[in-house]
Structure 1
Amino acid sequence: MRVEFRLLGPVGARVDGRPVEVGPARQRWVLAALLADVNAVVVADRLVDRVWGEDAPRQASGTLRSHVSRLRSALAEVPGCAIGRRGGGYVLETDEQAVDIRRFRALLARARAVADAGERDALYREALALWEGEALAGLDTPWAMGVRHRLATERLVATLDHHDLLLERGEHAALLPEAEALAAEHPLDERLAGQLILALYRAGRQADALERYERLRRRLAEELGADPSPTLRAQHRDILGAAEAPPPPPIPARLPQPRQLPAPPGSFSGRERELAVLDAAVAAGAVAAIGGSGGVGKSWLALHWAHRNQRAFPDGQLYVNLRGFDPSGTPLPSGAAVRTFLDALGVDPAVVPADLDAQAALYRGLVADRRMLVVLDNARDSAQVEPLLPGGSTCAVLVTSRHQLAGLVTGHGARPVPLEVLEGDAALRLLTRHLADRGIAVAGQEAALAELVGRCAGLPLALAVVAARAAMRPGFPLSVLAEELREDATRLDALDAGESAANPRAVFSWSYGTLSPGAARLFRLLALAPGPDIGRAAAASLAGLPPAEVRAPLAELARAHLISEPVPGRWTFHDLLRAYAAERAREVDPPGEREAALRRVLDHCVRSAHAAALRFYPQRQPIEPVAPAPCTTPVVPETHEEATAWLTAEHAVLMAAARRAAEAGHAAHAWQLAWALGDFLDLKGHWHDQRAVQEVALAAAERAGDRLGAAHAHQGLARAAVRLGRDEEARGHPLRALALYEELGDEIGQARTHHMLGWVLERQGRTRESLAHTERGLALFRRTGQRSGTASALNGVGWLLTLLGDHEGAVAHCEEALRLHEELGNVHGQAATSDSLGLAHHHLGRHGEAIAWYRNALPLYRRVGDRYREGATLLQVGDSQRAAGDLAAARASWRAALAVLDELGHADAEGARARLREDHAPG
């Protein structure tokens, strides 16, 4: 069966030529937004932006889920196609060649690669026949318009390439109707005009050809103040006849071969992926736009690639530093850059037109059919670059800029090559190479080298400065330089090499100085944000803006490469830029404004984490979170899956926020963040993080005299201690929590703590003491009407009765617990109670029933993401299978348990190993 997905025209799908009903318009737009990145995850926020733009509905995520659900049903009949949910987004998986855009580009690549003219003609025709109208017809969001414009450009270029082939084969008559229609749509396209004029002339319509040239000449003069290109003028002379032709400009018959590239970087390491992207971009005839923050190595990458590939460009290499972010603040005008190129190409100054457009046209004509490399370094924006782009496809162009050159991408099909800081090994290799080039021995100084790499945040400029500083003091060990870089507040001073171009602070300032006031303010405030990255809602809270109004400054900072967006919807910057932002904040923003911004982002973290915690574990007894400051925008996940995704994304941020809150004296924020993370960290096996954040919370609460916060932190520490096998510590914390809850008269807190004490004591083998505390907790839960707590305590009592030999009593308690958990919809409680029932039936000798109960628990544990209990239950499944005489199945279950428990680093993994070593379970 042949599957086709259509984007080059009305959006839709076909199977063996038969249309598939994919639903109403908005549903088709969701399909289009997924097909644009087929087989790749498109995060939900980006899908919403693609489908609705600024008109997203209030509950956009829910509406999107509904459309995706209906779209799955509609595509059920399409073979080899599925829509999956992963990584906070959706992915449409199918054969890429079933998507017309991908097939269009693949056919063009083949057409441009083959030598046989007939085969090329067939491939061009097949590619262009895929178009059935305007791409993404009907969808009018900014994303769709950008894609549509880019595709229309690709279609036009492909059509003109096919025209060139037809002219080569003498088929001028065949292309005339299409060329005349296209010329009406693109009246100023000189390549198209040249094709049409040549076809008219070859068809015997000399007068029409001359009239078409004159019409174009007048229009260029009136609308652009430019003359036709040298190629068109030469074509006109040929048609008009040598006697009537105007004298040609004195351009050399043989143009020089300029060699303008600066020297390659002396030390270069890494960037294998980016070099491969540059290779692919140039091979496809695309402009390569290298973007990144100041000092990240854009020019080094461009020059390294250029020198490595010089032989591929025998007609020469042109280079210009456009000074887009020069300390003087004055970029090189495009006209001046064009003139340097015309001079390098040997053009007599006397014949250079005065007008920039005419100069650019002359430049394009001179390089149109030559194999040259053009490097446009340090561009300010797309407008500065556009006059310098060659007109043909034989030249390669590398552009570097601190801004994202969206105009080049959308208007000229440029391929962006984003450049980030170097990762650990690549950064270490670069620094080692820098030092070796300067004669600095590094043997025995590995620890200092590693620290220097970390302090430089992988920024190539900083690594080069460090090597230069080391060369100035060759007798000093590298540890001395590392020590100078340890203080965040003075790190940029230590990286000052005495010249502005070798001073990260100065380099950063050139980008910072181009920002709008709003973007500059947000950049400074981002230094206050806790954690390694930040989401849009948190950035809005930090700045005190509605989320819609923070989009523009975030986008401006990203375009300037002062921040990056490594994951859709999350922004970050490296440590040196953070240090620079903090410096600027201390210089510009009053302390009160910085404190208010920090309070807003901490309020955002607490309110969002509280909402996510209750969605992650709905039966949890909520706390009363701190009242938020004005202009705080919390995130409220709607489902367990959304809460899990949010907590996963924000894990490191919330840990850092708790520490920052404690340092700043916001004790309530610190312990409430630890409380909100408790279940998530426990179920995901992050027990060391659990212990660390609860210790921060306890210290902050005790300093502030906050007994409720201290009690909650003691409970969290007890849970972490049990998981980490710290028995004495595990018992001490709930005892202190219990005393605090009794002082506060908090019976629900007492009930939870008695239940926890029962769990701790059971782990220590003190089963009867454990039962007494668990029963006390059960009584308090019943008295306070806490049904969820009652169900959990009933299950706890049942489990302990099994351990004490009262298996029938255990079954009775657990069955009552299970009914309550099912009424409450508590999935985790149902899993734990099924586990307890499995143990009771195992001891009653009902091994088949035990295995059934365990297998009932396993998918529920997986559903809520409780990895530890999944592993522990697999151990018990194996025990029941062994008791039932199925040793092979038992060993398989124990091996599965061992894999989970080893992954978590839990001590129970040794129990799985012991079972697998037992003589009576041979393998």
Structure 2
Amino acid sequence: MTVGDGGAISLSFSVLGPVQVRRPGGELDLGPRQQRLILALLLAAAGRPVSLSGIVEVLWGQHPPSSAVNVLHRYIGALRRMLEPDLPARAAGRWLQGDANGYRMTFEADQLDLLRMRTLTARARSAAESGHDGEALSLYQDALALWRGPCAGAAELGASDHLVFTVVDHECADLAREATDLGLRRNDVRGLLPVLRHMAEVRPWDEALQAQLLLALSADGHQAEAIALYQDVRHRLAEDLGVDPRDELKTAYQMVLRANGTRPVRLDTPTDPAPTAVPAPKPSAPRVLPAQLPADLGYFTGRDEARSHALDLIDQALPAQEATPVLSIDGIPGIGKTTLAIHLAHQLATNYPDGQLYVDLHGFDPEPAVMPPAEALQGFLNALGIPDSDIPVSDFARAGLYRSILAGRRILIVLDNARNADQVRPLLPGTPGCLVLITSRLRLTGLATTHSAHLLTLGVLTLKEARDFLATRLGARTSADPEATDEIIERCGRLPLALAVVAGRALAHPDHRMSDIAEELRAEHGSLDGFMGDDLDNNLRAIFSWSYLLLSPDAAHLFRLLALQLGPDLTIPAIASLIGAPTPDARRLIGQLVRTGLLTEHSPGRFSTHDLVRAYAQELVHRHEDEQDRRQAVRRLVDHYRRTAHAANRNLNPTVGIDPPEVTGAVVVTELSTPAAAMAWFTVNWPVLKAVVQYRLDDGDATEAWQLVLSLMQFWQNEGAAHDWAGLTRACLYAVTRAGDDFGRAHMSRGLAGALHLLGDNDAAERHLHEALELFSRLGCLGEQSVVYRNLGMIGLARKNFSSTVTYLERALHMARRAGSSTEQVNDLTMLGSAYIEMDQHDKAFEILHQGLRIAEEHQDLRGQGGCRWGLAEYYSATGDLVASLAEWKLTLDISRRVGWLTNIIECLIAVGDTALALGDRAGARAAWQEALGLLDHRRLPYTADVKLRLARLEKAVKIDG
């Protein structure tokens, strides 16, 4: 048995693949997923501390439960006991240690495979620099042999996209490419091929790695496999991403085709013949210290969070020194990307004593002005002291010369306004020591894959940042009229460029008050005329147009129609409906808009435009689309929401009393197959649906408005959103009454009664229910009458008027049976059972509830089963069988979660906690109530105070007993 320091048993840790811990005699059981994830995070940090907040974010994302820190400490304790079973209580331990900075693992370099890999890599590089290529290649192979798969098996742990793991994965990919590069030079790649094949398989989108595998296969005589691999990668890129291979992969393929069985040349070898060899640059090139950064703003304000985050990302990347840190800042036009990048560069310049390089790549200027990488390289080489006569003609040779000069130097490089990743790849250094800052309207995810780039997306300024922005430029004028200042900020959409244009105008007219400027913007009625600068660089319309002119005709058509959207954002099916195109075509056009910065994917599958960008689209849509085309586009969009809402509601309430809306073939309906999916769709689309209802009311179409509201009522009930429910339903009731639509009036009267009941106004609710009952009776709607009678029974139950309650519920059940509605029968039986429990007629309640449960199970009515089990939980509680009651509450809770009924989930959790406490299970009660409190966060539901009171009483009781 191996014994470490202090007599502790020695362990070995592995994170280059699924996380493992071994001791003499076997592998340790690492426990549940979250515990393994914590250990994986600490191992991937390789001895560096990981903060509590960092661990919490990996485990629970941006919305951790209130008990997160306590749960985390329990996992840490469990890990310590697993690693050191004999560790005394509260002892620090050898392996897992905590301090003010968080938690970290401590071990020797040979005890963690990641550190062993780094040690071998450093020795390999040293051997290569000394000219011992054979020894270097052997060390590279030993280092790569430690790699078993993606870092920590993060995908299985549910954290595949976390930065700590992806950085290690990129490091391993860089190592594989580096080793393959040396193997190709020595014509000795056979020992690298197994790991290279495996790594390329798990990193299918890493085109640089795929390119190296192509060359290695060809060099080892596997020409046919190399060609087949390229075709497979090309097909995969086209099918899955809708893109072609980039230049690096296409060039490697051409080299394979030209090789004809001979060893292909390397990617950075000049392919054009030259009469004389390029001289080695490092000995002959003069040590010029470039200082190309544009001036920093003397009044830089705001962006504190973004600036701090950017510096943190850079600081995290620097200690490893495995490659040059790359930070890519993206965002919409006018968001302040260049300003932030230049400000960061000036802050960091003293750390890079060999100078600063800067280039504006004009990535989104009109096409002829876009700078090719070769031209940028020439400018950089000139700045580094290389005359034109010594700069190679070949792009690859030019990039190689540039990387050679940068090797060993510490230079800060700013690549401004990049069009795509391909434009900047040749400008990236090949060795550690430098820092690269990039700005682009496009999120350069390809650089994250191939160069471990950190990506930072800028949003609009916060209100405070915008106020500081104007105050720094305009002084006391802003504080003298804060209301006008805030109006200006909102009319500028908190876009830095728009604020700068307005500030410039204010400085040119020092006699203008802030209220005068606000009035000028107000008079423009949301157009861009108020943001016209003195030149193209600060003219919003011109800057937006540069992106617009890059679009294909179909994408430009989509951009114009985006001005017609009815809510804050759009999904892909909604956009497809807006333009009347199939979903794949819409997805392709969306990609163009995102790449040009005119559309932002603010959350997965949801797209929005800045208010001023939409104002630009508004100008264009009225200029290029006639009124009929605009109305048809809005018609398709409205139909998308109406039809999808109806289908979603059928998942929540199968007894919808209206037929599906008729739509044209050009409308795409979102497929929602489960109640949970329907609730999720309603939740994220609620702001848009509210806008659609208001649009139809404003347009005078009361029928479409009330039918959409009817589709929303079950969602409102599930969420407990009584105020929204009452507001829109009352508006529709007024509209249908004026229109003489008795069917709509009946539905809206009944619907308004439901909202009023939740709000506690049972008198008004009862009046509306009697009005609905009269209308439904006149129209002969049996199923709807059953629902109204049940609603009247609910009000009677709330008032403890049991005789009227039973009368109404029995009428409801009679109507449901006549209508042949099993769902309504179950609902009526559930309510009747609850009434009999209240009346202490327990045997009758038990019989009725089981009758309803049999019908619900026979018809696979999940909601009905939940209602009946709720009643049974109340029955067992009333009869004193708390164990059975708790079991039924838990079954009801599970069903409520499956159907996405939030109010039921919260009430069930409260009941589970109450019953658990009555059974003496304080921990179970606390867990249930804390979960309920977490669900109540930021929601207007009347349970928060009760749950907090329960938790406070529990903690007080624990302290007294303790």
Q: Is the alpha carbon distance of 1:711 and 1:500 closer, same or farther for their aligned partners in structure 2, counting shifts above 3 Å?
A: farther
Give the letter for the 1:295 counterpart: G
In structure 2, the residue matched to 1:260 is 292
In structure 2, the residue matched to 1:518 is 554
Q: 1:119, 1:803 → 2: CA distance?
A: 85
In structure 1, the residue matched to 2:780 is 745
Q: Is the alpha carbon distance of 1:537 and 1:682 closer, same or farther for their aligned partners in structure 2, counting shifts above 3 Å?
A: same
Q: 2:281, 2:386 → 1: CA distance?
A: 18
Q: Is the alpha carbon distance of 1:644 and 1:437 closer, same or farther for their aligned partners in structure 2, counting shifts above 3 Å?
A: same
Give the letter for the 1:834 counterpart: R
Is residue 675 from structure 1 mapped to residue 706 from structure 2 by the alignment?
A: no
Offset of residue 163 of structure 1: 9.0
Question: Is the CA contact 1:626–1:668 (under 8 Å) kept in the aligned structure 2?
Answer: no
Q: Is the alpha carbon distance of 1:134 and 1:820 closer, same or farther for their aligned partners in structure 2, counting shifts above 3 Å?
A: closer
Question: Is the CA contact 2:600–2:609 (under 8 Å) kept in the aligned structure 1?
Answer: yes
Q: 1:307, 1:768 → 2: CA distance?
A: 80
Q: Which whole-Å deviations, capped at 9, do the CAs of 1:569-588 have from their partners, x for residues lacking one?
A: 22222222222222221221
The answer to which of 749-758 and 394-403 deviates more is 394-403
Give the letter for the 1:127 counterpart: A
**Residue in structure 1 matching 2:721, options 670, 676, 686:** 686
Q: 1:587, 1:409 → 2: CA distance?
A: 40
In structure 2, the residue matched to 1:83 is none
Residue 280 of structure 2: SS of its match in structure 1? Answer: helix
Q: Is the alpha carbon distance of 1:274 and 1:548 closer, same or farther for their aligned partners in structure 2, counting shifts above 3 Å?
A: same
Offset of residue 590 of structure 1: 1.6
In structure 2, the residue matched to 1:568 is 604
**Residue in structure 1 matching 2:279, options 222, 226, 230:** 230
Give the 5 Å matches for 1:273-288: 273-280=309-316, 284-288=323-327
Is residue 159 from structure 1 mapped to residue 179 from structure 2 by the alignment?
A: yes
In structure 1, the residue matched to 2:144 is 128
The answer to which of 492-501 and 774-783 deviates more is 492-501
The answer to which of 308-317 and 577-586 deviates more is 577-586
Q: 1:893, 1:352 → 2: CA distance?
A: 69
The answer to which of 781-790 and 891-900 deviates more is 891-900
**Residue in structure 2 matching 1:614, options 650, 669, 684:** 650
Q: Is the alpha carbon distance of 1:159 and 1:837 closer, same or farther for their aligned partners in structure 2, counting shifts above 3 Å?
A: closer
Residue 438 of structure 2: SS of its match in structure 1? Answer: strand
Give the letter for the 1:637 counterpart: L
5+ residue gaps, structure 2:
1-10, 28-43, 45-54, 62-81, 84-103, 107-111, 130-135, 152-159, 161-165, 197-211, 220-262
Q: Report the identity percentage.
A: 32
In structure 1, the residue matched to 2:381 is 342
Offset of residue 835 of structure 1: 3.1
Q: Is the alpha carbon distance of 1:531 and 1:541 closer, same or farther for their aligned partners in structure 2, counting shifts above 3 Å?
A: same
Q: Which whole-Å deviations, capped at 9, do the CAs of 1:871-918 have from their partners, x for residues lacking one?
A: 545666788899x89798999799679848965544466777899999
Is residue 185 from structure 1 mapped to residue 223 from structure 2 by the alignment?
A: no
Question: Is the CA contact 2:407–2:431 (under 8 Å) kept in the aligned structure 1?
Answer: yes
Q: Is the alpha carbon distance of 1:813 and 1:215 closer, same or farther for their aligned partners in structure 2, counting shifts above 3 Å?
A: closer
Offset of residue 274 of structure 1: 3.5
Residue 754 of structure 1: SS of its match in structure 2? Answer: helix
Offset of residue 810 of structure 1: 3.3
Question: Is the CA contact 1:724–1:906 (under 8 Å) kept in the aligned structure 2?
Answer: no
In structure 2, the residue matched to 1:298 is 337
The answer to which of 297-306 and 679-688 deviates more is 679-688
**Residue in structure 2 matching 1:784, options 816, 819, 828:** 819
In structure 2, the residue matched to 1:370 is 409
Offset of residue 633 of structure 1: 1.4
Residue 835 of structure 1: SS of its match in structure 2? Answer: helix
Q: Is the alpha carbon distance of 1:730 and 1:912 closer, same or farther for their aligned partners in structure 2, counting shifts above 3 Å?
A: farther
Q: Is the alpha carbon distance of 1:542 and 1:109 closer, same or farther for their aligned partners in structure 2, counting shifts above 3 Å?
A: farther
Is residue 815 from structure 1 mapped to residue 815 from structure 2 by the alignment?
A: no
The answer to which of 710-719 and 293-302 deviates more is 710-719
Q: Which whole-Å deviations, capped at 9, do the CAs of 1:835-860 have from their partners, x for residues lacking one?
A: 33444555566666656655553443
Q: Is the alpha carbon distance of 1:489 and 1:509 closer, same or farther for their aligned partners in structure 2, counting shifts above 3 Å?
A: farther
Q: Is the alpha carbon distance of 1:292 and 1:575 closer, same or farther for their aligned partners in structure 2, counting shifts above 3 Å?
A: same
Is residue 833 from structure 1 mapped to residue 868 from structure 2 by the alignment?
A: yes
Give the letter for the 1:159 counterpart: A
Give the 5 Å matches for 1:880-895: none
In structure 1, the residue matched to 2:133 is none
Give the letter for the 1:544 counterpart: G
Q: 1:679, 1:454 → 2: CA distance?
A: 35
In structure 1, the residue matched to 2:205 is none
Q: 2:884, 2:372 → 1: CA distance?
A: 82
Offset of residue 809 of structure 1: 3.6
**Residue in structure 1 matching 2:574, options 535, 538, 543:** 538
5+ residue gaps, structure 1:
20-35, 44-78, 81-94, 98-102, 136-142, 165-171, 190-213, 235-250
Is residue 456 from structure 1 mapped to residue 505 from structure 2 by the alignment?
A: no
Offset of residue 491 of structure 1: 4.4
Give the letter for the 2:179 counterpart: T
Question: Is the CA contact 1:868–1:900 (under 8 Å) kept in the aligned structure 2?
Answer: no
Offset of residue 407 of structure 1: 6.0
Give the letter for the 2:491 counterpart: R
Question: Is the CA contact 1:757–1:773 (under 8 Å) kept in the aligned structure 2?
Answer: yes
Is residue 773 from structure 1 mapped to residue 805 from structure 2 by the alignment?
A: no
Give the letter for the 2:791 counterpart: M
Question: Is the CA contact 2:14–2:20 (under 8 Å) kept in the aligned structure 1?
Answer: yes
Q: Is the alpha carbon distance of 1:414 and 1:811 closer, same or farther for their aligned partners in structure 2, counting shifts above 3 Å?
A: closer
Q: Is the alpha carbon distance of 1:778 and 1:344 closer, same or farther for their aligned partners in structure 2, counting shifts above 3 Å?
A: same
Q: 1:391, 1:817 → 2: CA distance?
A: 71
Is residue 659 from structure 1 mapped to residue 694 from structure 2 by the alignment?
A: yes
Q: 1:743, 1:840 → 2: CA distance?
A: 38
In structure 1, the residue matched to 2:457 is 419
Offset of residue 793 of structure 1: 1.3
Give the 5 Å matches for 1:326-337: 326=365, 330-337=369-376
Q: Is the alpha carbon distance of 1:113 and 1:642 closer, same or farther for their aligned partners in structure 2, counting shifts above 3 Å?
A: farther
Question: Is the CA contact 1:723–1:906 (under 8 Å) kept in the aligned structure 2?
Answer: no
Q: Is the alpha carbon distance of 1:372 and 1:682 closer, same or farther for their aligned partners in structure 2, counting shifts above 3 Å?
A: same
Offset of residue 303 of structure 1: 0.7
Offset of residue 753 of structure 1: 1.6
Give the letter for the 1:747 counterpart: L
Q: Is the alpha carbon distance of 1:706 and 1:526 closer, same or farther for their aligned partners in structure 2, counting shifts above 3 Å?
A: farther
Question: Is the CA contact 1:107–1:123 (under 8 Å) kept in the aligned structure 2?
Answer: no
What is the number of equivalent residue pairs in this alignment? 785
**Residue in structure 1 matching 2:681, options 635, 646, 651:** 646
User: What is the TM-score with the length of structure 1 in the denominator?
Assistant: 0.72
Residue 319 of structure 1: SS of its match in structure 2? Answer: strand
Residue 612 of structure 1: SS of its match in structure 2? Answer: helix
**Residue in structure 1 matching 2:565, options 529, 532, 549:** 529
Offset of residue 257 of structure 1: 0.7
In structure 2, the residue matched to 1:194 is none
Give the 5 Å matches for 1:847-866: 853-854=888-889, 856-866=891-901
Q: 2:927, 2:434 → 1: CA distance?
A: 62
Residue 421 of structure 1: SS of its match in structure 2? Answer: coil
Offset of residue 832 of structure 1: 2.5
In structure 1, the residue matched to 2:92 is none
Offset of residue 335 of structure 1: 4.7
Residue 655 of structure 1: SS of its match in structure 2? Answer: helix
Q: 2:144, 2:618 → 1: CA distance?
A: 54
Residue 527 of structure 1: SS of its match in structure 2? Answer: helix
Structure 1 vs Structure 2 CA RMSD: 5.2
In structure 2, the residue matched to 1:725 is 760
User: What is the TM-score with the length of structure 2 in the denominator?
Assistant: 0.69
Question: Is the CA contact 2:676–2:899 (under 8 Å) kept in the aligned structure 1?
Answer: no
Q: Is the alpha carbon distance of 1:801 and 1:307 closer, same or farther for their aligned partners in structure 2, counting shifts above 3 Å?
A: same
Question: Is the CA contact 1:226–1:357 (under 8 Å) kept in the aligned structure 2?
Answer: no
Q: Is the alpha carbon distance of 1:840 and 1:111 closer, same or farther for their aligned partners in structure 2, counting shifts above 3 Å?
A: same
Q: 2:807, 2:691 → 1: CA distance?
A: 39
Question: Is the CA contact 1:402–1:511 (under 8 Å) kept in the aligned structure 2?
Answer: no
